[in-house]
Amino acid sequence: MSAATEARQAELDRVLDAQEPIRTLADELFAVADLLESQAALRTALSDLTAPEDVRRQLAAAVLKGQVSAGAVAVIQAAAGLRWASGSALAAAVERQGVRAVMHAAQAAGELDTVEEELFRFSRIVVADHGLRDALEDRTASIPGRQQLIADLLAGKALDATLVLAQRAVRAADRTFELTLESYLRLAAAQRQRAIAEVTVARPLSAEQAERLRTALSAQVGREVSLQVVVDPSVLGGVRVKLGDEVIEGTVAGRLEAAERQLN
């Protein structure tokens, strides 16, 4: 992602963050994102760089007035006023704010930690079950049908925000379901200014072990860390930590592989 795109996203983030953290705002932003995806003329007009910024903002307000809340209008006007590479990029930016709005509401309700954990666990289930992964990523199947499959799987097992985000992830047209959930997890961590550490272990960590590891990693990177623990018996023992681009290899399997490379 270019620095210019990151700057635009950050500017739009600030507009969303200034709104009241309520779930209905997320629903409205998702509805607008869907409208932009279905109406090529509208998304082109709102992202037309030959038109003055004020004109694009006024068009957004005219289209949405009376249809969505003032908070949603503020976010869409801000998005229309920025310089996106295409109408699709504008729609993606609005979609991203819808995801962030779900997380804002979850954080206000004290549920964001749970949502993050549930999304991660569900992503691991999907990765491990090839049949389920293929079903969720089958572009020939209807989106409502795939969303219902998620609803059936998560019924009574996850928070409403988790269900909403998992169902929304099946709409992604340019990435896999797994990668979409990963992007959501990065947004959840960024919202609380945390880093993400993917921890691979042979056996589940106890609460005390997880807290010690989280504390050590937080001290290393200088900010809070969210742990995503993957249990993989093939690592034999020890811990492998992936923190950004850095991999800390402390597993028995990793040491055996390193010794084998040296021998060869």
Both 1 and 90 in one domain: the answer is yes
Both 2 and 102 in one domain: the answer is yes
Last residue in a domain, options 109, 141, 168 = 109
CA distance 171 to 249: 36
CA 225 to chain centre: 17
Both 16 and 90 in one domain: the answer is yes
Both 1 and 105 in one domain: the answer is yes
Both 90 and 118 in one domain: the answer is no
Amino acid at 194: R
pLDDT tens across 39-74, in order? 999 999 999 999 999 999 999 999 998 999 999 999
CA distance 61 to 123: 37
CA distance 104 to 191: 8
Quick one: pLDDT at residue 251? 63
CA distance 253 to 249: 9
**Is-contact 13 100, C-beta < 8 A?**
yes
Domain that holds residue 239: 195-263
Distances (CA, A) of 78 to 5, 46, 92, 140, 233: 14, 11, 14, 35, 49
Both 86 and 6 in one domain: the answer is yes
* Residue ranges, the chain, pLDDT below 70: 1, 173-174, 236, 245, 250-264
Token output for 137: 């990523």
Both 15 and 75 in one domain: the answer is yes
